[in-house]
Amino acid sequence: MEETILEKAKNVRLVIFDVDGVLTDGTLFLGDSGEEYKSFYSRDGLGMKMLQKSGIDIGIITGRTSQVVVHRMRSLGIQHVYQGKVDKLPAFKHLCEKAALLPEQIAYVGDDVVDVPVMKAVGLSIAVGDAHPRILPYADWQTTAKGGRGAAREVCELLMQAQDKLDAQLARYAVE
């Protein structure tokens, strides 16, 4: 891993995730009555919980609005949730103020062109493994895992490793 990525990751106090295509594989399941279903990867959730326990906060900015997201984020203890934000930059700026953080203390994980404005504004921009090719020039780093299939876990472990917190989190589960 490049030293510049680890240096940027050391400064991160908050990571913001997009939902569709990042925390999910981007597939939308719609029922006959219009209900929406999403599939989340449990390993990503555990990584997010470990990250929070290591002192790094998590936020969500997503273009869609879904009660499924409310339920999932509540189960993970994530309180910074912005839904229905096709233009994500105002939500990002609000979150910076709310968390009293500078943009360089924030990482953002995205998968498509709607994520580029925030990716350009943060200290560490990350694209998932199957991100749209047009956003790759704006990413400092790209996961090997695809969205909804371990990308979030990879990001969480990168941040914890860069801040020397990963071993302590893994030790909780007797993992060496």
- pLDDT confidence band for 1 (50 / 70 / 90): low
Domain count for the chain, please give it: 1
- Answer whether residue 144 is part of any domain: yes
- Answer whether residue 52 is part of any domain: yes
- pLDDT confidence band for 35 (50 / 70 / 90): confident
pLDDT at 6 exceeding the cut of 70: yes
Average pLDDT over all residues of the chain: 96
- Answer whether residue 125 is part of any domain: yes
- Answer whether residue 176 is part of any domain: no
Q: What is the CATH number of the domain that holds 110?
A: 3.40.50.1000
- Answer whether residue 61 is part of any domain: yes
Task: Give residue-wise pLDDT tens across range 102-117.
Answer: 999 999 999 999 999 9
- Answer whether residue 58 is part of any domain: yes
Task: Give residue-wise pLDDT tens across range 130-156.
Answer: 999 999 999 999 999 999 999 999 999
State the residue range of the domain holding 21: 3-171
As beta bridge partners, residue 30 has 36
- Answer whether residue 150 is part of any domain: yes
